[in-house]
Amino acid sequence: MAEVKSDIEIARAATKKPILEIGAKLGIPPEHLLPYGHDKAKISAEFISQQKGRQDGRLILVTAINPTPAGEGKTTTTVGLGDGLNRIGKKAVVCIREASLGPCFGVKGGAAGGGYAQVVPMEDINLHFTGDFHAITSAHNLLSALIDNHIYWGNEQNIDIRRIAWRRVMDMNDRGLRHIVGSLGGVANGFPRETGFDITVASEVMAILCLSTDLKDLEKRLGDIIIAYRRDKTPVFARDLKADGAMAVLLKDAMQPNIVQTLENNPAFVHGGPFANIAHGCNSVVATTTALKLADYVVTEAGFGADLGAEKFFDIKCRKAGLKPDAAVIVATARAMKMNGGVKKEDLGQENVDAVKKGCANLGRHVQNVKKFGVPVVVAINHFTLDTEAEIRAIKDYVATLGAEAILCKHWEQGSAGMEDLARKVVALAENGRSQFSPLYPDDMPLFHKIETIAKDIYHAGEVIADKSVRDQLRIWEDQGYGHLPICMAKTQYSFSTDPNLRGAPTGHTVPIREVRLSAGAGFVVVITGEIMTMPGLPKVPSSEKIFLNEQGFIEGLF
């Protein structure tokens, strides 16, 4: 094997084309590309609205098994498949999420793919990029400031200051902000109250931006945000503080999708980044639907494993945006199968075919789950250099027993040359028109019944348990007209169950609901099972310690 280069070295050595050329490949005229430097651009809202009525290309979802510390490479595979489709003569666009800034300074790990399947400029994408997340932070915190300001000046809306649901956000891993008492210091600073900060990707504004179809829709949804309750329990909306207009102004540019390129100079739309936990975790609706108008194939990914990510992609994003995916790719690795089969991380370098076979149960469950949505499935085995032929064979044989195919992919090492087989298979699946996509549950199913359906059909749980207060809350929302909303599950990504240590394919487990939250602007009900962390912390030795500008002014230490 040749010397292994780091992701940032490979990215820096890339021969990038001017972004106007990349846009031209998709027929976007230069005046509709708003450049950010020479290698990033936004696609104008005007151009996007002009594409209405054009036929859509094929939509391919890339999802994965439950993540393990071994790493699966979902984004890498998404980027590699996009390049692979272009290689075999299809006009393909990759649609992925933007990276959150905060975590970059915590633990290493980029969000722009890896090896020879990356989007560039990776440093920019992982840092400020085109400022979308900063705009979301500003819009969110403007609303926060308006709430305390409203109370300060007389509280005309009679907001109950103990029942303010809207916190503040920052795109930083800062545990010291999770729980604060604000407005201290006397009369001039307002009325002291408990509150806190979430990381920006966890903001409902982020989810709204990613689900809105245009600026009008965005403004309406921003107005629909429930910020607090009055003493009589009636909700106070962002609209009641006249915040929606100014918030939409702050998000005007951020709503326009970003176009960059892969290492092989193919177009990639990097836009939106809702937390895959308390939100739906997908690339923006505007980016995906625009890409579908411009390309034969759109390859997009969903957050976490298929139990969380694909389910929300289908039941929230596709349902709401009217998208019909033509095929799904489930990413697996021999290493992850071994971990699911009980092997420890330090022993992953050893061949262990039995562990692979045992761990395949997790993969099998995901394959069968995705099929429940009527979408044809193929498994991508993301190749790692120490994988053995026998291990790969074991996965392929297992997947064949499910009536599907597993294809070895070497995009990390070879770029699109290692992706031809999967690309051809995806085309075959998509073009035979077998996809009969439909969401898991209908809109008019009662909210608790929707939760049970996900828990039983996708997680294979035995039962869902919830306090009377949770059930009552769901019923109140149904009475208020929110019963038609889909469910956004917040669950550990490491297991089908709510126990992160339960690998494989457990059945008959119990799903306890701790809390339910209404995201009235985004348009879903968040169901929280177990602890969820909406503001991460930094590790003992943060990676920021090793990030710096070298003598040439290049960034070092960022992946």
Catalytic one among 45, 139, 202, 276?
Answer: 276
Catalytic one among 412, 448, 524, 559?
Answer: 412
412 is catalytic: yes
Distance in angstroms (rounded) separating the CA atoms of residues 214 and 255: 8
Catalytic one among 12, 17, 87, 108?
Answer: 108
Minimum CB–partner distance for residue 38 and a second copy (Å): 7
Distance in angstroms (rounded) separating the CA atoms of residues 345 and 542: 22
Q: Which is nearer to a second copy, 24 or 428 (CB)?
A: 24
Q: Which is nearer to a second copy, 131 or 512 (CB)?
A: 131
Give the DSSP letter string of 185-232: SSGGG---EEE-EEEGGG-HHHHHHHH-SSHHHHHHHHHH-EEEEETT
Catalytic one among 47, 63, 76, 130?
Answer: 76
Q: Which is nearer to a second copy, 134 or 475 (CB)?
A: 134
| Cβ-proximal residues to 108 (8 Å cutoff; 6+ apart), any chain | 543, 559
Minimum CB–partner distance for residue 536 and a second copy (Å): 10
108 is catalytic: yes
Q: Are 310 and 303 spatial neighbours (Cβ–Cβ below 8 Å)?
A: no
Q: Which is nearer to a second copy, 401 or 550 (CB)?
A: 550
The position carrying tokens 């915590």 is 106
76 is catalytic: yes
Q: Which is nearer to a second copy, 465 or 548 (CB)?
A: 548
Catalytic one among 25, 58, 90, 97?
Answer: 97
Query: Which 3 state secondary structure label does DSSP give 539?
Result: coil
Tell which residue, 100, 110, 99, 105, has the closest CA to residue 542.
105
Q: How many residues does the chain have?
A: 559
The binding site comprises 68-75
Q: Rounded to the nearest 10 degrees, how much is the dihedral formed by the CA atoms of 295, 297, 314, 132?
A: -50
503 is catalytic: no
Helix crossing, 353-371 with 389-401: angle to 10°? Answer: 30
Minimum CB–partner distance for residue 446 and a second copy (Å): 34
Q: Which residues pair with 378 in a beta bridge?
A: 329
CA atoms within 13 A on the CB side of 241: 29
Distance in angstroms (rounded) separating the CA atoms of residues 145 and 168: 9
Q: Which is nearer to a second copy, 252 or 372 (CB)?
A: 252
Minimum CB–partner distance for residue 547 and a second copy (Å): 4
52 is catalytic: no
Q: Which residues pair with 282 in a beta bridge?
A: 302
Minimum CB–partner distance for residue 125 and a second copy (Å): 13
97 is catalytic: yes
304 is catalytic: yes
Minimum CB–partner distance for residue 78 and a second copy (Å): 26
Catalytic one among 74, 168, 317, 425?
Answer: 74
CA distances from 192 to 152, 188, 195, 230, 457 (A): 11, 11, 10, 17, 46
The binding site for ATP comprises 68-75
Active site residues: 74, 76, 97, 108, 276, 304, 384, 412
